Structure 1
Amino acid sequence: MSPPPSSKDKSNSATARVLGSATAGISELAIFHPVDTTAKRLMSNSTKVTNMSQLNSVVFRNYANESIGRKFFSLFPGLGYAAGYKVLQRVYKYGGQPFVNDIIGTRFGKDFEDAFGQKTGKALMSATSGSLIGIGEIVLLPLDVLKIKRQTNPEAFKGRGFVRVMADEGLGLYRGWGWTAARNAPGSFALFGGNAFAKEYLFGLKDYGSATWTQNFVASIFGASASLIVSAPLDVIKTRIQNRNFDNPESGFTILKNMAKTEGLSSYFKGLVPKLLTTGPKLVFSFALAQTLIPAFDKVLAK
């Protein structure tokens, strides 16, 4: 009997997984937070942007007519929330997926191999474990909600700080959790699946952890692009749910209906091109960095 597909990968230590994914999250935040703010504001905008003047107003808002320096720093709202969310999210997602993959490999690895073949079965296990970890990501939803509101609708805070908002809003911060889970499941499946298929079929790797930085980077491009395209419609709805005022919420189905009625079906893919050009690189960067750093930290810790 052949071993389950996952047994061909060397398992890294929990410490290495946490350190590698946390470092990737911090690096991503430091470089790409302004880019993330830009993408969120474009997705939140419900009007057509047809010229540079309108684009300038949508992205920079009250600072549209200010100097370049003030415009740039206006793209850093919610940095504290973003730091908490991004680091925890990357540790959970990049560090947690290998744990789930190990469990699936141990219990169902032979089933995947028999059903899909050795190479495809191994890649699909990675995709499935990614999907499951993506669904569980809703635990961190309140931090994501606060980050997005700071980026797109700061007036919603009305001078309240983090603790006061948490106390006042309570479970309301989980509004849209169903849409978030629905968006994360296929998005994370595509992210880890696209990455695994590239390593398996493009580079012929038996042990994904042995990939070089270049291989991780290229594989991450496949995964990130697939993830962003698959999750785009639900991501737009999720963002619009989360950027509403706390006292004026709107359901995802209402948003879905109004978008189709007033903006057309193409509105479900609003911001996709900017997202591929902006969010795509940050996801590729952090995903590739985490996959490279985790085995590197493991080697250091083993000495």
Structure 2
Amino acid sequence: MSAPITPSTAPEKGIVNPPGTTLVKKPYPFWLGGVAASLAASVTHPLDLTKVRLQTSGDKGMLNSMRKTVAANGFTGLFDGLTGTLLRQMTYSMMRFAVYDAAKEALQDGPGPMPAWRMALAGSIAGGVAGVFGNPAELMMVRMQADKAKPPEKRYNYRNSIQGLYRMTQQEGIASWYRGVVPNGFRAVLMNMSQLASYDWFKEQLISNKLLTDGPVCHFVASLGAGTVATTVCSPADVLKSRIMNAQGAGTTSTIAVIRQSLAAEGPMFMFKGWVPAWMRLQPTTILIFLILEQLKSGIDKYRQAGGKAL
């Protein structure tokens, strides 16, 4: 049973502590990660768009691809498919953060820091669940981002992500929502195992070794390490996912068919095509997500300590 609070006891993060009561652990709102990810993705969307177009077209070089997009569609063309990105963040990202927190709590065995392998296991569980749950939004995001890089006759021309899902259901059936779910799910496992777990590990190491105190600088350094690890681990699955989801025509959408065709045309390094824009996109996204998320949590802590009960 928790001990009563004394005047010298500092409130802990995430703790609700009305005067005269015992410490009560209360989880953060499940949607918090989705909000943080949506805000971050809105800023970094042009880099994500460029990464997808490099992976699915014959464009050469990140800057050349961005110039091509602006020349064809204006500056706003860099934000094509933003509704798909936001839908993806409020499904996939919201789910992965919520499940990761729940999995860490279930896997925690006694006091003290959680071992790295348990963090990685919690991240893998979160990625597997979120990868399946968020696959329709992921598919829509990839299609909308890649659309204007195609010849006009091959474009989907979705107005927004919701209308796109409706049209896809009418034209391709509900099963089309889960095209590419295997590589996408595998990528989600890798992403969350590497990104979420490595962020927690870097943060814990920085604090426990007294290199940094818990604060924005620590969060920045930990997220920098997490973004680099995640980009490298996830690149092969990310390329396969984008190519499968964007493929058209019978016999061209299976994982094996895409791997065979890509190897024959480009060699094994196709798995790291778009690594630089992927890193440049994921790095600021990772930094922004965790900085925003930590600040949102801090704000909720202050709100709760002031007696707020709505969150």
Q: TM-score range by the shorter chain?
A: 0.7 to 0.9
Gaps of 5+ in 1: 1-7
CA distance in 2, matches of 1:9, 1:196: 15
1:266 aligns with 2:266: no
Query: Match for residue 168 of structure 2?
Result: 165
> Aligned in 2, Cα 1:41/1:176: closer, same or farther, shift over 3 Å?
same
**Partner letter of residue 40 of structure 2?**
E
In the TM superposition, residue 46 of structure 1 has moved relative to its aligned partner by: 4.4
Query: Match for residue 44 of structure 1?
Result: 56
1:201 aligns with 2:205: yes
User: Any conservation in 2 of the 1:220–1:284 contact (CA below 8 Å)?
Assistant: yes
1:34 aligns with 2:46: yes
CA distance in 2, matches of 1:64, 1:195: 35
User: Any conservation in 2 of the 1:13–1:298 contact (CA below 8 Å)?
Assistant: no
Q: What is the aligned counterpart of 1:72 among 65, 71, 75?
A: 75
CA distance in 2, matches of 1:173, 1:247: 16
**Partner letter of residue 139 of structure 2?**
V
Stretch of structure 1 that moved more, 253-262 or 292-301: 292-301
Query: Match for residue 182 of structure 2?
Result: 178
In the TM superposition, residue 82 of structure 1 has moved relative to its aligned partner by: 1.7
> Aligned in 2, Cα 1:59/1:83: closer, same or farther, shift over 3 Å?
same
User: Any conservation in 2 of the 1:41–1:59 contact (CA below 8 Å)?
Assistant: no
Q: What is the aligned counterpart of 1:237 among 219, 240, 247?
A: 240
User: Any conservation in 1 of the 2:70–2:77 contact (CA below 8 Å)?
Assistant: no
Give 3-state SS (helix, strand or coil) of 1:18's partner: coil
Query: Match for residue 3 of structure 1?
Result: none
Query: Match for residue 126 of structure 1?
Result: 119
In the TM superposition, residue 288 of structure 1 has moved relative to its aligned partner by: 3.0
User: Any conservation in 2 of the 1:19–1:294 contact (CA below 8 Å)?
Assistant: no
In the TM superposition, residue 299 of structure 1 has moved relative to its aligned partner by: 3.1
User: Any conservation in 1 of the 2:142–2:242 contact (CA below 8 Å)?
Assistant: yes
> Aligned in 2, Cα 1:279/1:246: closer, same or farther, shift over 3 Å?
farther
User: Any conservation in 1 of the 2:103–2:126 contact (CA below 8 Å)?
Assistant: yes
After superposition, the C-alpha distances for 1:153-184 in whole angstroms (9 at most, x for unaligned) are 35442568332323433111211111112222
Gaps of 5+ in 2: 1-11, 16-24, 149-153
CA distance in 2, matches of 1:18, 1:203: 26
In the TM superposition, residue 271 of structure 1 has moved relative to its aligned partner by: 0.8
CA distance in 2, matches of 1:151, 1:9: 39
- Between the aligned residues of both structures, percent identity stands at 21
> Aligned in 2, Cα 1:64/1:289: closer, same or farther, shift over 3 Å?
closer
Q: What is the aligned counterpart of 1:289 among 281, 287, 292?
A: 292
| Structure with more helix by fraction | 1
CA distance in 1, matches of 2:115, 2:295: 20
CA distance in 2, matches of 1:287, 1:42: 27
User: Any conservation in 2 of the 1:135–1:181 contact (CA below 8 Å)?
Assistant: yes
In the TM superposition, residue 149 of structure 1 has moved relative to its aligned partner by: 0.3
Q: What is the aligned counterpart of 1:101 among 100, 104, 122?
A: 104
Using the size of structure 2 for normalisation, the TM-score is 0.77
User: Any conservation in 2 of the 1:26–1:86 contact (CA below 8 Å)?
Assistant: yes
Query: Match for residue 4 of structure 1?
Result: none
Larger radius of gyration: 2
Q: What is the aligned counterpart of 1:188 among 182, 192, 207?
A: 192
User: Any conservation in 1 of the 2:95–2:129 contact (CA below 8 Å)?
Assistant: no
Once superposed, what is the RMSD of the aligned Cα atoms? 2.9
Q: What is the aligned counterpart of 2:146 among 142, 152, 159?
A: 152
CA distance in 2, matches of 1:278, 1:136: 24
> How many residues in Structure 1 have an aligned counterpart in Structure 2?
273
CA distance in 1, matches of 2:120, 2:29: 18
In the TM superposition, residue 60 of structure 1 has moved relative to its aligned partner by: 5.4
Could you say which structure has the greater relative contact order, defined with CA pairs below 8 angstroms and 6 or more residues apart?
1
Q: What is the aligned counterpart of 1:142 among 136, 143, 153?
A: 136
1:216 aligns with 2:215: no
Q: What is the aligned counterpart of 1:256 among 256, 259, 267?
A: 259
**Partner letter of residue 149 of structure 1?**
R
